[in-house]
Every structure is written in structure tokens, then in C-alpha cells.
Amino acid sequence: MKRYRLLAVSGIGVVAVLVGVLLFGNLNGNLVYYLTPDEALAKHADYAEGRRFQLGGFIRPGSDRRTADGLTFVVTSEVRPDSAAVVVLHTGPVAQLFQPGIGVVVEGSWRGTEFLSDTMIVKHDENYRPPGPTPQPGPGGDPR
């Protein structure tokens, strides 16, 4: 009887380890980490040019402009003007909700002191606001 108990406890232990490995192994693959501009600047030496990572922060108001290469803007850790900032050159598709002052996560790599990205995710809140009513033209062409 004692031998069966030892086998049962060992079997339960093996099953628990397998479930843990499967659960946390798959969970870790689905987690998304990003560095703030403070962390990215501090770890710049750890992320050599070409090593991809995600950078997240707020788009500094007034810093976005379109160029021939894509969209250039500044990502800051906080909305304050004295917070750490990284210049981003984005060459991929621009998110529809992209606008200054909101949170953004971009994926790419360093190119010198500039961050070159090709993937963009915009952070927004869960509150839905329907677009305002658009004026419909009246019978004479005048908006109602």
C-alpha cells in the first residue's frame, strides 16, 4: 500500500509540473513587454542596432510630421515637456487613432539615436464616443 501511495504522489507531482510548464510556457509567449523611453535610453547599449524591441509612451504634441521616409514623432515617458524622449521614424502603416498626446507602442530597433519602427499600436480608453452628426444637405443644398 505504501508503494502505491508513493507512486500516486510522484505521478501527481509530474502532472503538476507538466501543467505548469504548459501553462506558463504558453502564457509567456503571449505577454507583450515594452520599454518606456527612460528604460530604452538607459538600456541603449543592451539593444544593439537591429535588435528589435517595443517602445511605449506618449506622443509629444506638435512633434509629429510626415516626411518622405514616413512619419516622425517624439515618444516621451510622460506628457511633461522635461521627461525622457525618443525620436521615432515610423515607416509602416499609421494607426487610425494616431494623434499627439495619446499613448503608443511602436516596435522596431535603434538606428543611432533614433528609433526606427514599422509596427504601431495606439493605446486608447474603453469609452466609445460616436462621431457627431454630420450636416445633411437640404433640398436647396443648404446644410440642415
Strand stretches in the chain, DSSP E: 53-59, 65-66, 71-76, 85-90, 103-111, 114-122
On whether 90 is known to bind a ligand per the annotation, the reply is no
Segment 62-87 mean pLDDT = 90
Domains of the chain: 33-122 (2.40.50.140)
Q: How far is CA 9 from the centre of its chain?
A: 44
On whether 33 is known to bind a ligand per the annotation, the reply is no
Q: How far is CA 90 from the centre of its chain?
A: 13
> With bands split at pLDDT 50, 70 and 90, how would you rate the model's confidence at 144?
low
Look up residue 129 and give its three cell numbers.
Answer: 464616443
Could you give the residue ranges of the DSSP H alpha helices within 31-80?
Answer: 37-42
- Model pTM score: 0.67
> With bands split at pLDDT 50, 70 and 90, how would you rate the model's confidence at 86?
very high
- pLDDT tops 70 at residue 141: no
Segment 44-61 mean pLDDT = 91
In this predicted model, what pLDDT tens digit does every residue of 58-74 receive, in sequence order?
999 999 999 998 999 99
- pLDDT tops 80 at residue 125: no
More confident residue, 15 or 28: 15
